[in-house]
Amino acid sequence: MSEGYTLLRRVSAFLNEAEMPPSLFGREAVRDPQFVFDLRRGRNPGRKVVTRADAYMQAWRNEHR
């Protein structure tokens, strides 16, 4: 399984949990409003981008608990 696919699964679950639009997530997490749409089209992000996306999701969860 590619890193992009596993990240997409985590991000999709997060978007449902946070009730957040994909473009907002992309803009805030990695400064790219097309990020989630690109993942859905098969984008395979680099390690830095994956780390930033995961950190954003964790920080959001910590703030909203």
Containing domain of residue 27, as a range? Answer: 3-63
pTM assigned to the model: 0.93
Using CA atoms, how far residue 62 sits from 3, 5, 7, 11, 46, in Å, is 24, 24, 19, 16, 25
Buried b (16+ CB within 10 A) or exposed e, 43-63: bebeeebbebbeebbeebeee
Number of domains in the chain: 1
pLDDT of residue 23: 99
pLDDT of residue 2: 83
Q: What is the pLDDT of residues 39-59, one digit of tens each?
A: 999 999 999 999 999 999 999
Q: What is the pLDDT of residues 16-46, one digit of tens each?
A: 999 999 999 999 999 999 999 999 999 999 9
